[in-house]
Amino acid sequence: MIALRRRYGRGLVLGVLLLVMVMVTACAKDTQGVLPSPPAQEESGDQNTAGADNKGEDEDGSSDEPANPNEGNSTGEENSTGQEPAQEEDQPDASNQADFSDAHSVTVLVNKEYALPEDYEPSDLVYPDVRFTFSEKIEKRMMRSEAAAALEKLFAGAEEDGIYLAGVSAYRSHSTQTSLFNRYVKKDGLEKAKTYSAVPGHSEHETGLAIDVSGSDGKCAAEDCFGDTKEAEWLAKHATEYGFIIRYPEGKEDITGYKYEPWHLRYVGTEISSDIAERGITLEEYYNAVPVTASP
E strand spans, the chain: 125-126, 143-144, 165-169, 210-215, 244-248, 261-267
Report whether 213 contacts 167 (CB < 8 A): yes
Say how far apart CA 185 and CA 188 lie, in whole Å: 5
Check if 271 is active-site. no
Say how far apart CA 195 and CA 192 lie, in whole Å: 5
- Tally of residues, the chain: 296
Count of H-run helices and E-run strands, the chain = 11, 6
**What are phi and psi for residue 210, nearest 5 degrees?**
-120, 150
Under 8 Å CB-to-CB from 232, ≥6 apart: which residues? Answer: 226, 262, 263
Q: In the 3-class helix/strand/coil scheme, how is 148-200 assigned residue by residue?
A: HHHHHHHHHHHHHCCCCEEEEECCCCHHHHHHHHHHHHHHHCHHHHCCCCCCC
Q: Which of the following is catalytic: 206, 231, 261, 284?
A: 261
Amino acid at 185: V
User: What amino acid positions are annotated as catalytic residues?
Assistant: 261
